Structure 1
Amino acid sequence: MTIQTALAELSSLLGQRLTRSKSDLDLHGRSETHFPLTPPDAVAYPETTDEVSQIVKICAAHACPVIGWGTGTSLEGQAQAFQGGLCVDFRLMNKILRINPEDMDVAIQPGLTREELNTELRATGLFFPVDPGANASLGGMASTRASGTTAVRYGTMRDSVLGLEVVLADGRIIRTGTRARKSSAGYDLTGLFVGAEGTLGLITELTLRLQGQPEAITAAVCAFERIEDAVNCVIDTIQMGLPMARIEFVDADAAAAFNAYSGSDMREIPHLMVEFHGSEQGVAEQAESFGAIVADHGGQGFEWATTPEDRTALWTMRHHAHWAIMASKPGCRSIVTDICVPISRLAEAVNATRADIAASPITGPILGHVGDGNFHAILLFDDTDPAQVKAAEDLSHRMVERALAMGGTATGEHGIGVGKLKYMEAEHGQAWGVMGSIKQALDPQNIMNPGKMVQNS
């Protein structure tokens, strides 16, 4: 009854901002992918860091699990309460606290989404570049060390977070990092909490690095008859040092899904989607150089999107890829993979994955942020058919094994959660045990998002 005792105390603290309604619990128990509905025991909606601290202290006193929630767009079960407990939803902590245009940084609360932030930044000439596609909360993006379509130029959340405010498992409030662009003072605690998936504490404030809005932007899409030609075009582009803002790959199955969902008229063959940022002259030179590389690899049907409306349509189509692909097989569930390999092994990894899927009884369109060696297969299966379930699990497993054998990683951006937990030892060896020791030191009761990231949590 310890959880129930904790919830009674939390109800006195939060009043109506603690809910146990079925609709709220189900909303916070869902997954975007194949994990089953797993509702928490209750959902809390704090408004301040002090409230979060009090919530965690109460939960610590009664050994009640605490799971952070942003917008629920994580793909490996990070925000689900598999061991019950309290879900802390940060939607009411969604303010911009300070914009520092001269220093190109901003302080925000964790419930703010990336689209909300960029809307507020328009008048400053600055923007926040990390773009995972979904309109995710920035606290959640930091917790999963998210990246996205622009990572090839601007980096990931690891590169964009200057400092954090975090509530630890005993309710202590700490600050990590500073607004300075570099420091040699002590352990990199900011880096420790970015990507920790809420297993070490709850992020209640972030200081983020911003970028200047480019003078000129242009985007394009081009087609290739063969996957290897498109991927080798990407490899040559990166190795030549061409500063792409985005360079995305979609295979024939993904192009077909786009056509059906978005009303586009892409040829149902592999495509690259690219974008250039810079000065007018710089963008023109980059586009010309890229055009020459495309021609060398047999690319065709170059279509430029130079107006803001055309560019928005192009990237909206790409960002809606998950829903477009899900709509291509109504009623199916999905395993969404996200392996990342060294750029020199990218063509080999994509081709091997495509051959694996073609030999299986299920479909799995491939797409991804190939400019940094990261790609996805959205494996679609009927969860009432054991053969299809096993085929999807086997395909995902072989993709990860292949990536690790190539010197890559099990996850380039989606994180570990529970879905990739079984690969941590193979990827990290004894370092995984060190992660467990850090978890034990900061959260000895194992109340912070238990069951995720580390062994026997």
Structure 2
Amino acid sequence: MNVALEALTAELAPQFGERWITNPSRLETFAYAEGHHAKLIPALVVQPETTEEVCILMAATHRHGVPVVALGAGTSLEGNASPVELGLTVDFSRMDRVLEVSAEDMLCVVQPGVTRVALNTELRTTGLFFPLDPGANATIGGMIATRASGTNAVRYGTMRETVLALKVVLPDGTLIQTGSRARKSAAGYDLTHLFTGSEGTLGLVVEATLRLHGIPEHVLAGSFTFDTIEGAVSTVINTIQLGVAVARMELLDPAAIRACNVYSHLDLPELPTLFIELHGSEAIIEDQRATIEAIGRDLGGRDFAMSTDADERNRLFRARHDALPAARASRPGAVVWSTDVCVPISRLTDAIAGAHAAIEEAGLTAPIVGHVGDGNFHVLFVLDPAKPEEWERAGRVNDSLVNHALSVDGTCTGEHGIGLGKRQALVREHGDAAVDLMRTIKRAIDPDGRLNPGKVFELTPATAKDDHG
């Protein structure tokens, strides 16, 4: 532990007691993350319980010059919350309360450590729900940090549309509030959405006001298998272009189905498969179901099975959410590098077909899954950590995915964020001038670069390229 960390510990450890963690065996538990990046054990971890404590922490780290990383559930995939310097990790697991639910305004106020599942459990008697579902049981703070979305985004949007207001502690300990409960505002700069997606590099979110939605009257869900990936994706495109208000439209390729069958004990045909969910009145969803089936049959659709049974629906989408651990389990000892891109819906067929061709040419195992209703898909490279040549080939495929997405005016990441893994891709997407403007904003708010250092971009241009840009 260096001098700054020792001074910080001497000042704050008595106040936080057992919540100030320095024991090496306990610290190791905070190095876990879902992503493939190297994991550094934090030098210190603290578990605040109130906004006031976060302000005290940030003021003290400001005085001592200590780097700070915010941690939620550790489910990020691009090293977004992994420390790269010895510093303080702020674990928000104890700030996990739902502070208010306003059914009349269809909103709630929560602390950042609340998970999406816990929030919906709290809301179960209100007739409302929080629809964003990235798969993992992520915290709200983490979802705000990466501007997350997930399987329901095609109908309900992303965190960008969901966050109405924030309370944020700045690097020097100052507490600010952004936004309001109003559904729209023209009052000044949009600070709420500056912090939403900033990956903890500008401030620590300590409270969020979120938009909620009414629980649908009826839910119909099921699967639709296809002879070809092109047929499945074309069904998605035509469905969206016709204005069918699907809630979820997920694609799993044969490799993903194979892994999920084994891991989740299913017997789905090993074919390109759409997982579909519809929300609305009984008449509306029956009309939508018939439309999707008619579109798909013309494009090589095979088995089409839909059900209103909640257990069957949960079983099906649990398998979809288990795609990452299923891919990992398909090759003992493997590490999964999960990457994502997002393209305009009209370019989705070419993007996924190109990804399949690149994976096959590289001789890699890499299931494809995607929130294809909004043009976002993921490639799960299943790699041997002892074979660097596999990682090199995966890096080339990843570059080709990003380059194709950018060539059709898409983005290098639809929901994972930049973190450590896509810093160079960010420059390719936005250009030097735009990324320099991001650096200017960062320096204005965090001039010492203490908040989540090394993430999103290097503070000084072109200082170091990451391994898997």
Give the Cα–Cα distance (whole angstroms) in 1 for the partners of residues 93 and 273 of structure 2: 37
Q: 3-state DSSP class of the match of 2:391?
A: helix
Give the Cα–Cα distance (whole angstroms) in 1 for the partners of residues 344 and 197 of structure 2: 21
Could you give the per-residue CA deviations for residues 136-172 of structure 1, whole angstroms, max 9, x where no partner exists? Answer: 0001100110000000000000110000000001100
Q: Aligned match of 2:276 in 274, 277, 280?
A: 274
Could you give the per-residue CA deviations for residues 343-396 of structure 1, whole angstroms, max 9, x where no partner exists? Answer: 111000000000110111320000110011000010011111121121112111
Match of 2:170 in 1: 168
Could you give the per-residue CA deviations for residues 120-146 of structure 1, whole angstroms, max 9, x where no partner exists? Answer: 111000000000000000011001100
* More displaced 10-residue stretch of structure 1: 302-311 or 43-52: 302-311
Q: Indicate if the aligned counterparts of 1:24 and 1:43 stay in contact, CA closer than 8 A.
A: no
Q: Indicate if the aligned counterparts of 2:449 and 2:459 stay in contact, CA closer than 8 A.
A: no
TM-superposed deviation, 1:11: 0.9
Q: 3-state DSSP class of the match of 1:261?
A: helix
Q: Match for 1:442: what amino acid?
A: I
Match of 2:467 in 1: none
Q: Indicate if the aligned counterparts of 2:68 and 2:450 stay in contact, CA closer than 8 A.
A: yes
1:286-301 to 2 correspondences below 5 Å: 286-301=288-303
Match of 2:401 in 1: 399
1:292-441 to 2 correspondences below 5 Å: 292-429=294-431, 430-441=433-444
Q: Indicate if the aligned counterparts of 2:340 and 2:413 stay in contact, CA closer than 8 A.
A: yes
1:61-210 to 2 correspondences below 5 Å: 61-210=63-212
Q: 3-state DSSP class of the match of 2:341?
A: coil
Give the Cα–Cα distance (whole angstroms) in 1 for the partners of residues 51 and 14 of structure 2: 18
Could you give the per-residue CA deviations for residues 215-251 of structure 1, whole angstroms, max 9, x where no partner exists? Answer: 0000110111111110111111111111000000000
Q: 3-state DSSP class of the match of 1:218?
A: strand
Q: Match for 1:36: what amino acid?
A: A
Match of 1:453 in 2: 456
1:29-40 to 2 correspondences below 5 Å: 29-40=31-42
Match of 1:229 in 2: 231
Q: 3-state DSSP class of the match of 1:245?
A: strand
Q: Indicate if the aligned counterparts of 1:433 and 1:455 stay in contact, CA closer than 8 A.
A: no
Give the Cα–Cα distance (whole angstroms) in 2 for the partners of residues 73 and 336 of structure 1: 12
Q: How much is the aligned-residue C-alpha RMSD, in angstroms? A: 0.9
Give the Cα–Cα distance (whole angstroms) in 2 for the partners of residues 6 and 83 of structure 1: 16
Please, what TM-score do these two structures have when normalized by structure 1?
0.99
Match of 2:466 in 1: none
Q: 3-state DSSP class of the match of 2:94?
A: coil
* More displaced 10-residue stretch of structure 1: 207-216 or 263-272: 263-272
Identity, % of aligned positions: 48
Q: Indicate if the aligned counterparts of 2:327 and 2:336 stay in contact, CA closer than 8 A.
A: no
Give the Cα–Cα distance (whole angstroms) in 2 for the partners of residues 196 and 249 of structure 1: 29
Give the Cα–Cα distance (whole angstroms) in 2 for the partners of residues 49 and 371 of structure 1: 38
Give the Cα–Cα distance (whole angstroms) in 1 for the partners of residues 12 and 138 of structure 2: 27
Q: Match for 1:377: what amino acid?
A: V
Q: Indicate if the aligned counterparts of 2:39 and 2:83 stay in contact, CA closer than 8 A.
A: no
TM-superposed deviation, 1:275: 0.4
Matched, 1:13 2:15: yes
Give the Cα–Cα distance (whole angstroms) in 2 for the partners of residues 143 and 137 of structure 1: 10
Give the Cα–Cα distance (whole angstroms) in 2 for the partners of residues 128 and 398 of structure 1: 35
Q: Indicate if the aligned counterparts of 2:69 and 2:451 stay in contact, CA closer than 8 A.
A: yes
Q: Match for 1:199: what amino acid?
A: T
Q: Which runs of 4+ in 1 moved over 6 A?
A: none
Q: 3-state DSSP class of the match of 1:368?
A: strand
Number of residue pairs aligned between Structure 1 and Structure 2: 457
Give unmatched runs, 5+ long, in structure 2: 461-469
TM-superposed deviation, 1:3: 2.5
Q: Indicate if the aligned counterparts of 1:157 and 1:194 stay in contact, CA closer than 8 A.
A: yes
Q: Match for 2:153: what amino acid?
A: A
Q: Indicate if the aligned counterparts of 1:246 and 1:276 stay in contact, CA closer than 8 A.
A: yes
Q: Match for 2:17: what amino acid?
A: G
Q: Match for 1:420: what amino acid?
A: K
Q: Indicate if the aligned counterparts of 1:168 and 1:202 stay in contact, CA closer than 8 A.
A: yes
Q: Indicate if the aligned counterparts of 1:46 and 1:93 stay in contact, CA closer than 8 A.
A: yes
Give the Cα–Cα distance (whole angstroms) in 1 for the partners of residues 209 and 139 of structure 2: 14
Q: Match for 1:452: what amino acid?
A: K
TM-superposed deviation, 1:31: 2.5
Give the Cα–Cα distance (whole angstroms) in 2 for the partners of residues 275 and 365 of structure 1: 22
Give the Cα–Cα distance (whole angstroms) in 2 for the partners of residues 86 and 424 of structure 1: 27
1:23-62 to 2 correspondences below 5 Å: 23-62=25-64
TM-superposed deviation, 1:4: 2.3
Matched, 1:240 2:242: yes
Give the Cα–Cα distance (whole angstroms) in 1 for the partners of residues 193 and 213 of structure 2: 20
Q: 3-state DSSP class of the match of 1:46?
A: coil
Could you give the per-residue CA deviations for residues 151-199 of structure 1, whole angstroms, max 9, x where no partner exists? Answer: 0000000110000000001100000000010110011000000000000
Q: 3-state DSSP class of the match of 2:414?
A: coil
Q: Match for 1:231: what amino acid?
A: V
Give the Cα–Cα distance (whole angstroms) in 2 for the partners of residues 394 and 27 of structure 1: 32
Q: Match for 1:127: what amino acid?
A: F
Q: Match for 2:221: what amino acid?
A: A
